[in-house]
Amino acid sequence: MRNVAIVGYGHTKFGVRNEVNLAELAYEAIREALEKAGLEPKDVEHVVVSNVGGWSSEPLPAVVVAEYAGLSGKPLHRVEAACASGSSALASAYEAVASGMADIALAVGVEKMNESPTPNVVELIGRAGNYFWEFQNFGLTFPGYYALYATAYMNKYGATEEDFCRVAVKNHYYASMNPKAQFPRKIDLETCMSSRYIAWPIKLYDSSPITDGAAAVVLASEEVAKKLTDSPVWIHSIGMASGTANLSRRDDFTGLMAAQLAARAAYKVAGLEAENTARYFDVAEVHDCFTIAEVMAYEDLGFVKRGEGYKLVREGQTYIGGLIPVNLSGGLKAKGHPLGATGISMAVELTKQLLHEVEPGRQATINKGMAVAHNVGGTGHYAYVTVLGLEKPRGR
């Protein structure tokens, strides 16, 4: 396996993007990523498109995106892993380069979720669990799924609704400094606490929005990366795991086993211990589709012990200057959550953080030169954990 680096990245404005179609939106990110890498479409040898779809007009988005971007003729495929589709695309492009199949690969994620009415989108996302058992029989949608986790966590560990709202306040604070965010504005605790319930104890401001957006990264082998840039960001490892489709088959509702397994796999390859892991990283991007998900991510990633994640929020330890700054992009909560683009958006954000290329006020202090992304599909149906660093991976 060869070393693989991110040598270019692109990211669109997230939000309601009615002024562009799916291919145009994807091309915004692709064009920026290629320009940053100093490449043209002809230089790309492998293309992976992440798109969940169902709510947008194109049933075959990969070929439409590739044609519009001047990438037709390249090896091309589409991936889908629910909300973790972007990380799945990143992993697929990484494997193409690491294996020697290609020297330069492009991973792009894109979603036009607002092409369908909100109730339809909510239903389509709700079908992403176990449709016949959970959605059809019990009417569960994803706020309901995560409400089960939130109530179990509160009951077991004593967390409160205020603790979850503090996650939203933090993420909106950093989104206010991110011009690409869907909601670049601050909120206070009262705003979150007084918002209407979606599925108790989850409120409107505990929830990520429906989003259009795209993100892209260019990956290159070590030999090629050295020719393209003096500042590559290396992929140290990508851990992957899955969970049961049917939530009734799970033993615990205070964490996501798939995320825990993916983290252990990523840490093992990267040569990191699986406990007290905040010591390794300068910054993290985690999957906060709902605020409870971010709190569980702290524990699933090993930043703190089980049941201590909400204490990080109470103490402000996930702000810049704390134990581990988390979601300085604004997270899914405020930056937005275009499902197919989210995982790649995380990789873009962490690349920019490591290279000191983010906006003032939300730049983490980079001492260790390492970052971690945590991307969950569904309610832990899929999980990807990606470790990035400024130094080449050990032993390679």
Q: Is the Cα torsion angle 319, 323, 329, 335 positive or negative in sign?
A: negative
Domain boundaries, the chain: 4-116+213-228
- State the pLDDT at residue 395: 61
46 a catalytic residue: no
- State the pLDDT at residue 51: 98
Of 83, 165, 192, 289, the active-site residue reads 83
CATH of domain 4-116+213-228: 3.40.47.10
**Encoded amino acid at 266, one letter:** A
Report the percentage of the chain scoring pLDDT > 70: 98
For residues 331 and 346, give the distance between their C-alpha atoms in angstroms, rounded to a whole number: 9
Question: Which residue, 286, 318, 342, is CA-closest to 84?
Answer: 342
Phi then psi for residue 289, to 5 deg, are -55, -35
Average pLDDT of every residue of the chain: 96
pLDDT digits (tens, 9 = 90+) for 156-212: 999 999 999 999 999 999 999 999 999 999 999 999 999 999 999 999 999 999 999
pTM of structure: 0.97
83 a catalytic residue: yes
Strand runs labelled E in 222-354: 233-242, 283-285
Which of 140-154, 271-285, 327-341 is the least confident region? 140-154
Cross-strand partners of 284: 326, 372
Phi then psi for residue 376, to 5 deg, are -110, 140
Of 11, 236, 337, 374, the active-site residue reads 337
